[in-house]
Amino acid sequence: MCGMSQPPPDRSSAPTRPRPDASMSLLTTVMEHSLDEGYAEASARRRSEGSEGMPRTLKSKLGLAAGLVLAALVVTLGAAEAQVAAPVVAKEREELIDRVNAETATADTLEADVEKLRKDVGERQRKALQEHGGDQGGLVALLSGATPVEGPGIKLVVDDAENTDQGGGGPRESTGFADTGRVRDRDMQRVVNGLWQSGAEAVAINGQRLTALSAIRAAGDAILVDNRPLVPPYTVLAVGDGKKLAAAFRDSADGQYLQALHESFDIRTSISEQEKVRLPAAPSLIVRTAEPQAADTGSGAADTGKGTS
């Protein structure tokens, strides 16, 4: 029994066992189909359109080249136009410069003529004062500023405070002299009036001779003397007995006012006696003559409503 061979078992009738990897179908699918169908379709379409990509690239290159050529053409035309217009602009510029120079020369000539006429009028006025002044012709000429004056006197300098940004009519906006430390026209008016009251025989500010008709005004922040602007420091020269004139001015109300400006607002002032000062004649004079008027008699004045003065 033991030595007898047994027939092999029938495998067809035996139950089949599942494959070990049967449960890993999802992993197998992922490994075998690593690309999604959508990606595969897109890749296939891209490969099919690969032959058409070459013409598109060439077309874009041609478009870029055409744009560069157009830009170069525009730049070239602009440069050519500028080169053509340059001589015209230069010629117009030279013509404009010539016109400006010509008008400037004309203005200088007219200004010289005006100055010449002004001197001639002043000289005639001075002669008229001397002729009709009689024995007091010299005094009249002196008081009217018709002649230069030279003699002893004083020198009074008035200047803005040191911390003032701009002086002499600068564009700085201000609300009053107290907050800027600047000299105002009313300050110079009081200074000049104080000098006249103290016994000055002749007065000039920055070379501008003052007369009985002179006006010291303001235009913005600028100080004008007879409509001519002055620039600080304001140098006032006065002819007279230097010692007495200086003492009288210091003791006057206007001198004390000037000292108060210095102490309160740091406006700089100085006064000194001078052995000799020279004042020029007034640049322009207004000569007026007065004639006596005969008194009216009868009732004529009452009838017309006008009387004599």
Report domain extents, the chain. 60-147, 149-279
Give the model's pLDDT for residue 295: 60
Instruction: Answer for the pair 229, 219: CB distance below 8 angstroms, yes or no.
Output: yes
Taking the C-alpha atoms of residue 277 and residue 151, their distance in angstroms, rounded to an integer, is 6
The domain 149-279 having CATH identifier 3.30.70.1880: the answer here is yes
Give the model's pLDDT for residue 137: 63
Residue 178 has what DSSP assignment? Answer: G
Which among 206, 226, 214, 212 has a CA at the least distance from the CA of 143? 212
- Six-digit token string for 165: 């940004």
224 forms bridges with which residues in the sheet? Answer: 217, 229
DSSP assignments along 182-194, one per residue? ---HHHHHHHHHH
Give the model's pLDDT for residue 168: 45
Beta strands in 160-267 (DSSP E): 202-205, 208-209, 216-219, 222-225, 228-230, 234-239
Give the model's pLDDT for residue 159: 93
Which among 206, 198, 269, 270 has a CA at the least distance from the CA of 239? 198
- The residues of the chain scoring below 70 in pLDDT are 1-40, 42-43, 46-56, 84, 126, 129-141, 165-180, 284-292, 294-309
Q: What is the pTM of this model?
A: 0.51
Taking the C-alpha atoms of residue 301 and residue 269, their distance in angstroms, rounded to an integer, is 56
Taking the C-alpha atoms of residue 151 and residue 33, their distance in angstroms, rounded to an integer, is 123
Give the model's pLDDT for residue 82: 73
Burial 46-67 (b: 16+ CB within 10 A, else e): eeeeeeeeeeeeeeeeeeeeee
